[in-house]
């Protein structure tokens, strides 16, 4: 009786989960892989071919965009880390404990707001008729308004801004568990600030830094909104190539190949990140 119940319980929980993971995740990705190896021939039939991948390597615009997206994503991840570490350190170790909760709420609040609204905010700040130009003209620092939007640097600014949360939160949670007496001991033994930073703080924070970096890298790589709106026509982000193939050219096979390449890149980087620091995904998400 009890055993039967147990089997039923397992089945009751297992069925919806298996259905979800196979129908919504596994099968669509298999379909993506299959589609990427097929093309439409002159008679309008789908045949097997490697052409989609050959196109990618033969057209410099495609693989250059791909490389550019990857390199900029690494840059964004690094910048986000450099900006986030002092903030996380300040909140966990420096500020008076009574302000800690307040600062933490303040830190999280903007990220509950839609990415679109945040990017839009930057657009009205930075554009030619924007708020920053208005103040610079008023102050006499500029004679002519300048277009600050649609540059690589603003695109990177936007991407760093959008992904900040995913770096700050994991670092805060690891620094929280760092014993203050370690820092005190090092200080008493004569270590300076940089030694403490590189010998104690960063090694201790590595799990948080890795999980933050993985999430930031992945989100930046797959971001469409921010490069598209803040980088404009020159943004050349790989997700835009995918979008163009799917929606504009209606070449789904080519788009699938691009999508699969992006998926492979993001998986490799996640895997490498985990391997290099000897972590596993299960630990990182918790």
Q: Under rule CB under 8 A, which residues in 247-276 are in contact with another protein?
A: 247, 252, 255-256, 259, 262-263, 266-267, 270
H or E element: which one contains 48?
A: strand 46-48
Among 224, 244, 277, 279, interactor with another protein by CB under 8 A: 224
- Tell me the backbone φ, ψ of residue 38, rounded to 5 degrees: -125, 150
**Does 18 participate in binding another protein (rule CB under 8 A)?**
yes
Among 64, 67, 131, 248, interactor with another protein by CB under 8 A: 131
Among 76, 218, 236, 257, interactor with another protein by CB under 8 A: 218
d(CA 199, CA 205) in angstroms, rounded, equals: 11
Tokens of 38: 């097929």
Cα-trace Rg, the chain: 24
Selected range binding another protein among 37-45, 55-63, 84-92, 148-156, rule: CB under 8 A: 84-92
**Does 9 participate in binding another protein (rule CB under 8 A)?**
yes
Selected range binding another protein among 51-59, 74-82, 108-116, 148-156, rule: CB under 8 A: 108-116
Among 70, 174, 221, 236, interactor with another protein by CB under 8 A: 221
Of the pair 78, 224, the CB lying nearest another protein is at 224
Tokens of 135: 């103040």
Contacts 24+ apart (CB under 8 A), 236-241: 236/64, 236/65, 236/68, 236/69, 237/65, 237/69, 238/65, 238/66, 238/68, 238/69, 238/262, 239/69, 241/62, 241/65
**Does 49 participate in binding another protein (rule CB under 8 A)?**
no
**Does 194 participate in binding another protein (rule CB under 8 A)?**
no
Among 37, 53, 81, 243, interactor with another protein by CB under 8 A: 243
d(CA 262, CA 68) in angstroms, rounded, equals: 12
Among 74, 75, 83, 142, interactor with another protein by CB under 8 A: 83
Cβ–Cβ < 8 Å for 227, 197: no
Q: Tokens 């990857």: give the residue.
A: 70
Of the pair 155, 214, the CB lying nearest another protein is at 214
Q: Which of 35, 232, 261, 38 is nearest to 126 (CA)?
A: 232
**Does 203 participate in binding another protein (rule CB under 8 A)?**
no
Binding residues for another protein, rule CB under 8 A, total 92
Cβ–Cβ < 8 Å for 67, 237: no
C-alpha neighbours within 13 Å on the C-beta side of residue 109: 7
Among 49, 55, 173, 228, interactor with another protein by CB under 8 A: 228
**Does 117 participate in binding another protein (rule CB under 8 A)?**
yes
Among 75, 107, 136, 142, interactor with another protein by CB under 8 A: 107
**Does 98 participate in binding another protein (rule CB under 8 A)?**
no
Selected range binding another protein among 17-25, 37-45, 53-61, 147-155, rule: CB under 8 A: 17-25
């Amino acid at each position: 009786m009890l055993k039967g119940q147990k089997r039923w319980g397992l089945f009751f929980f297992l069925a919806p989960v298996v259905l979800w993971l196979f129908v919504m995740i596994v099968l669509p990705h298999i379909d993506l892989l299959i589609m990427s190896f097929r093309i439409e021939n002159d008679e309008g039939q789908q045949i097997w071919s490697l052409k989609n991948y050959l196109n990618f390597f033969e057209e410099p615009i495609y693989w250059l965009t791909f490389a550019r997206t990857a390199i900029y994503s690494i840059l964004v991840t690094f910048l986000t880390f450099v900006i986030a570490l002092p903030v996380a350190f300040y909140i966990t170790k420096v500020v008076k404990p009574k302000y800690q909760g307040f600062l933490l709420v303040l830190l999280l609040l903007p990220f509950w707001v839609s990415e679109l609204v945040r990017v839009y905010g930057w657009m009205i700040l930075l554009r030619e008729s924007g708020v920053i130009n208005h103040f610079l003209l008023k102050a006499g620092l500029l004679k002519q308004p300048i277009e600050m939007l649609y540059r690589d640097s603003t695109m990177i600014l936007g991407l760093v801004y959008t992904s900040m949360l995913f770096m700050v939160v994991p670092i805060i949670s690891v620094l929280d568990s760092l014993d203050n007496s370690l820092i005190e001991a090092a200080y008493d033994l004569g270590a300076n600030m940089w030694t403490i930073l590189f010998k104690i703080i960063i090694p201790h924070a590595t799990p948080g830094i890795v999980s933050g970096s993985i999430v930031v890298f992945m989100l930046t790589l797959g971001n469409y909104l921010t490069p598209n709106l803040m980088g404009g026509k020159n943004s050349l982000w790989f997700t835009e190539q995918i979008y163009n193939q799917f929606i504009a050219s209606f070449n789904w096979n080519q788009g699938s190949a691009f999508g699969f390449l992006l998926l492979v890149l993001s998986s490799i980087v996640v895997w490498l990140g985990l391997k290099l620091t000897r972590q596993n995904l299960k630990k990182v998400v918790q």
